[in-house]
A = this chain, B = another copy of it.
């Protein structure tokens, strides 16, 4: 029943997996030379598709000619071309791109590996990637890691066996460039998205302007009169969190405002933990508590708003909150969330273009930073009196 064994955790080992039996009928050995005349009423395996050979034989030309027609070569005589095309249509020929890719040593696919499609940010990103890839005639090979570096190794190993022309990878948290190099060899055309990795300079990178985004949010809060502004959530060892924290720090410094270390609060980027840590904002430090928080992302901001409500504090009234990402929920929460929009679908299109550009000999992998825009809603409140 199971056509292949699942990929082992030790993904780097040789593929033992037996490919699927895609043909519904088990192949019986061809009895052509077995003496008796073959059963002629099924001269061809019904499962077999139409091939260039069938077309060529049907109208008495060579396979080469059919191939040239398929590839739109101007070498073929118009009449011949017309006859071939008619026969192609008649027999409902389907091009076997896998065979062509093998012969030409090309690829018409790009692997896209992300944490989880259920994250709307990545869903939009994936939609953008697939859109742009499709426009160029490539197909998307999907893979998801669920933020597990081990699964990521396994998924990438499996995808590489399909010889993608490129890999767009949003690394799982805790990814290690050394490990990744074991499965994505020197020849691989890789574009990293969203998370920067040390030791991966041979690959392209597309990221958001995290620092500037957080700076915009912080400046926005300062302009509303806030002076004590926390940075809430995220893991300080992730590059995006570091960059966003830097933006926060920069805006505060620029405004001549001190940052109490107690205002830098870590939290896993999920709603539950973000809500649970709300109390840390109002801990027993000697100083006055913050009146606003720049959150690591929207999910954290949503959690914090729940946590605030649980303590009887109205987000946007008693305490200002900003997010990052502009996920769909951000517009419909109570209150709607002020956040940074990253246009993930556009980023997806861009990632596809970048990875395709890298295929060209000249284009060296580049570091690209995409802008984000502040989207003001009610969670950041109005001007403090």
Give me the interface of A with B, judged by CB distance under 8 Å: 1-7, 12-27, 47-49, 69-72, 85, 88-89, 92-102, 104-109, 112, 116-118, 120, 123-124, 126-127, 130-131, 134-144, 155, 158-163, 165, 185, 187, 189, 302, 328-329, 332-334, 345, 356-357, 359-361
Q: Is B22 touching A92 in the complex (CB atoms < 8 A)?
A: no
Measured CB to CB, the closest approach of chain B to A104, in angstroms, equals 6
Q: Is A123 touching B130 in the complex (CB atoms < 8 A)?
A: no
User: How far, in angstroms, from A5 to B107 measured CA to CA in the complex?
Assistant: 14
Count this chain's copies in the assembly.
2
User: How far, in angstroms, from A6 to B136 measured CA to CA in the complex?
Assistant: 5
Partner of A333, one of B17, B130, B141, B332: B332
Known A99-B102, A100-B19, A117-B117; contact A158-B142, beta-carbon cutoff 8 A: no
User: In the complex, what residues of B have CB within 8 A of residue A165's CB?
Assistant: 20, 22
6 pairs of residues in contact across A and B, judged by CB atoms under 8 Å? A1-B357, A19-B100, A48-B105, A99-B102, A118-B123, A141-B141
User: In the complex, what residues of B have CB within 8 A of residue A333's CB?
Assistant: 332
Partner of A20, one of B107, B302, B328, B361: B107
Measured CB to CB, the closest approach of chain B to A61, in angstroms, equals 15
User: In the complex, what residues of B have CB within 8 A of residue A361's CB?
Assistant: 24-26
Measured CB to CB, the closest approach of chain B to A76, in angstroms, equals 12
User: How far, in angstroms, from A132 to B131 measured CA to CA in the complex?
Assistant: 24
User: How far, in angstroms, from A49 to B235 measured CA to CA in the complex?
Assistant: 39
Partner of A328, one of B27, B99, B120: B120
